Structures are given as structure tokens and as C-alpha cells.
């Protein structure tokens, strides 16, 4: 297992290298001069050139990229063009908010999706099955920004029950977490239903029922554990998607996470911050996938990692 994890971690190096290279090339090709934006609207040509030299933008793009990657490999991501603060400090402040939002959204999705998927499979073609699948279809179809605005309008503006922006109290987490979690719950519920239907038709489930075991025991102890393997895969992908998809929700709810920082930095052509944000999100996504692979061995002892 340790050798498998070490080998998987080594494969992250070319992945992260490729991600940062693609992002850097896109930033370089996008119109706009970061030096002009950093120097200010009233800056003279001389001031702009001096700013370009201070930021290292006077060097060829390849040299800029290699310099960034070399420094990043030593934990130094440089300084933000916009705030002139260390990028590490910016990330340290914002990343916990994104992780908190993703964790809360995942919790919301699991509370809704797992029971809904199980009930839909056990009571196939019933009213509960139809309601669950229609809800899942709506959850997949509704854009997160529209759903967030509707929740703000209803629960924040009209009813006044919940705050609509910021991160000043635990209540501010509810609306963005629900907005993110509903879309994820739809995907997980559909996968849970599909996996449960396949498992419930297996011979060992019929044998368990023939032994006189209660239906609850058959479903939870015998069927659910085997059905969780594909579901765990979807959950892992959804957690990664929540981290990436939090960008839109963070902007809608003014949530001070890394997604909002990323959008602001792209608009400002803040190369170091954008690259660091993408690098951190890619690393997080890859580690989540690794954790999911390791969980397979605990859910099904027949799966061996070599």
C-alpha cells in the first residue's frame, strides 16, 4: 500500500507541471498588460517599465515560467501583483474557507443523496422513486448561480431568515453550502440508485432474504456496502468538482474563498496568484482521487493495490 501511494504521489509531478504550463500559456496569450494594471491608470511610460522590471515581466515568458516553478518547488510563490503581499499569505487566508464550503456542501449532498438513492432503489417505480429522480434531474439541470440567487431571494430577502453574503457567522455558510450541495446530491443519488439496483439483484442478496433476515439488514449490511464502491468514486469526483465549482458560488455569495481570489486575480492578470490557485486546486483534486483509491481496499478486500 505504501509503495502504491508513493508511486501515485510521484505521478503528480508531471500532472502539476502540465497544469501550470497550460495555465501560464493561457495567461500570457490573454490580452492585457499586468504591468499597466499594477502601475495604475495614471502611470507614465517610465513608471510602467519600472513596474515591469520589478515584477519580472521584462523577461521572456519561458524564463518567467521556469523561475516561478523553481521558486514554487521551494515553497515560494512570489508576491501578488495586485496587493503586493506574499502569495502564500493570500492562499493561507482564503483556502480554509473554500475547504469549509466544500466540506459543508459534501455533507449536505450526502445527507440528501444516499437516503434518496437507497429509497429509490428499494422502492423502484414507486412515487418515492419518481420524486427522487425528478429532484435529481432538477438538481443536475439548474445552474448553481441561478439556484444561489433564488435561495438568496427567498430565504435572505423575502423571509429574512439567513444572511446572503460574507462569512461573518455560521449562518452565512448555509446558503452557499446548500447551493453547491444540491447539484452534487443529484449526481450521487442517481449513482447510488443505479448501484443499489444492480446489487439488489445479486444472488447473495436473495440468499440473505431467503434466510429470513430483515429487509433493513439486507439493504444496509449486505447490499449497501458493495454498492458503495462506484458511489465513492462519484463522491470523490464531486468533492473535487465542488472545490472547482465553488468559484461561481463564492462570487455569488461574496464568500472569501480561493475561488473568489482566483476570479479577481484573473481579471487583474495577477500571474503568481492565478498559478498558485490552480496548482493548489489541482493538487487537492489529485489527493482526493488518491484517497478514493485507497478507500476501495477497505470497502472491498478483494481489491489489492500493488
Kindly list the domain boundaries of the chain, sorted by start residue: 97-255
Lowest mean pLDDT among 113-122, 127-136, 223-232: 223-232
Greater model confidence, 133 or 274 = 274
* Separation in Å, CA 241 to CA 109, 195, 235, 300: 13, 21, 10, 25
Q: What is the pLDDT of residues 245-259, one digit of tens each?
A: 677 888 888 888 888
Residue 162 phi/psi, 5-degree rounding, is -130, 150
Q: What is the pLDDT of residue 55?
A: 76
pLDDT at 266 over 60: yes
Q: Residue 303 belongs to what H/E stretch?
A: none
Q: Residue 117 belongs to what H/E stretch?
A: helix 87-122
Dist CA 233 CA 63 (whole Å) = 39
Q: Report the sign of the C-alpha dihedral through residues 203, 208, 209, 215, in that order.
A: negative
In the chain, how many H helices and how many E strands? 13, 0
The torsion defined by the Cα of 172, 185, 138 and 195, in degrees rounded to 10, comes to 180
Dist CA 233 CA 258 (whole Å) = 25
Lowest mean pLDDT among 20-24, 157-161, 165-169: 165-169
For all residues of the chain together, what is the average pLDDT?
79
Q: Which of 203, 242, 207, 227 is nearest to 120 (CA)?
A: 227
Lowest mean pLDDT among 100-104, 183-187, 204-208: 204-208
Instruction: Read off the pLDDT of each residue in 224-250 and give the average, rounded to a whole number.
Output: 75
Q: Residue 284 belongs to what H/E stretch?
A: helix 271-299
Domain 97-255 has CATH 3.30.365.10: no
Say which residue the cell 447490499 belongs to.
223
Say which residue the cell 519600472 belongs to.
50
Would you call 79 helix, strand, or coil by DSSP?
strand
Q: What is the pTM of this model?
A: 0.77
Say which residue the cell 521551494 belongs to.
74
Q: How many CB atoms are closer than 10 A to CB 222?
A: 19
Q: What is the pLDDT of residues 20-33, one digit of tens each?
A: 888 888 877 777 77
* Separation in Å, CA 103 to CA 97, 142, 252: 10, 21, 18
- Kindly indicate the confidence band of residue 222, based on its pLDDT and cuts at 50, 70 and 90: low
Amino acid at each position: 500500500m505504501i509503495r502504491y501511494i508513493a508511486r501515485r504521489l510521484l505521478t503528480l509531478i508531471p500532472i502539476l507541471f502540465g497544469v501550470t504550463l497550460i495555465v501560464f500559456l493561457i495567461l500570457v496569450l490573454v490580452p492585457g498588460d499586468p504591468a499597466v494594471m499594477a502601475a495604475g491608470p495614471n502611470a507614465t511610460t517610465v513608471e510602467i517599465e519600472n513596474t515591469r522590471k520589478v515584477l519580472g515581466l521584462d523577461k521572456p515568458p519561458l524564463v518567467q515560467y521556469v523561475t516561478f516553478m523553481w521558486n514554487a518547488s521551494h515553497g515560494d510563490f512570489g508576491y501578488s501583483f495586485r496587493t503586493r503581499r506574499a502569495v502564500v499569505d493570500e492562499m493561507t487566508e482564503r483556502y480554509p474557507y473554500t475547504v469549509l464550503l466544500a466540506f459543508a456542501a459534501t455533507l449536505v449532498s450526502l445527507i440528501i443523496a444516499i437516503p434518496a438513492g437507497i429509497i429509490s432503489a428499494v422502492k423502484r417505480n414507486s412515487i418515492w422513486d419518481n420524486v427522487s429522480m425528478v429532484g435529481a434531474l432538477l438538481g443536475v439541470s439548474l445552474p448553481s448561480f441561478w439556484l444561489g440567487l433564488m435561495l438568496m431571494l427567498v430565504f435572505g430577502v423575502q423571509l429574512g431568515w439567513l444572511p446572503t453574503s460574507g462569512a461573518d457567522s455560521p449562518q452565512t455558510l448555509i446558503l452557499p453550502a446548500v447551493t453547491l450541495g444540491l447539484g452534487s446530491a443529484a449526481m450521487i443519488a442517481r449513482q447510488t440508485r443505479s448501484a443499489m439496483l444492480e446489487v439488489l439483484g445479486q444472488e447473495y442478496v436473495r440468499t440473505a432474504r431467503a434466510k429470513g433476515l430483515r429487509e433493513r439488514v439486507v439493504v444496509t449490511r449486505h447490499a449497501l456496502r458493495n454498492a458503495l464502491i462506484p458511489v465513492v468514486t462519484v463522491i470523490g469526483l464531486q468533492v473535487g468538482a465542488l472545490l472547482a465549482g465553488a468559484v461561481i458560488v463564492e462570487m455569488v455569495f461574496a464568500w472569501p474563498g480561493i475561488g473568489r481570489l482566483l476570479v479577481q486575480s484573473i481579471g487583474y492578470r495577477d500571474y503568481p496568484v492565478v498559478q498558485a490557485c490552480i496548482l493548489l486546486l489541482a493538487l487537492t483534486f489529485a489527493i482526493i482521487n488518491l484517497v478514493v483509491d485507497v478507500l476501495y481496499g477497505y470497502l472491498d478486500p478483494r481489491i489489492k493495490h500493488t
